[in-house]
């Protein structure tokens, strides 16, 4: 299903953007997870 792949890529992009934004506030989130 192409729709599933698109949904996953969109979610990944959204999460990546959020992580980049919150990356400065919580630099230890990577180590925590």
Q: For the segment 1-33, what is each residue's pLDDT rounded down to a tens digit? A: 679 999 999 998 998 888 887 766 666 656 555
d(CA 1, CA 21): 31
- What is the sign of the dihedral through the CA atoms of 24, 25, 27 and 33? negative
Q: Are 23 and 29 in contact (CB under 8 A)?
A: yes
What does the radius of gyration of the chain's CA atoms come to, in whole angstroms? 12
Residue 25's pLDDT is 65
pTM: 0.43
Of the candidates 20, 11, 13, the one whose C-alpha atom is nearest the C-alpha of residue 30 is 20
């Amino acid at each position: 299903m192409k729709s599933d792949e698109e949904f996953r890529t969109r979610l990944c992009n959204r999460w990546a953007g959020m992580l980049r934004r919150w990356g400065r506030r919580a630099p230890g989130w990577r180590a925590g997870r």
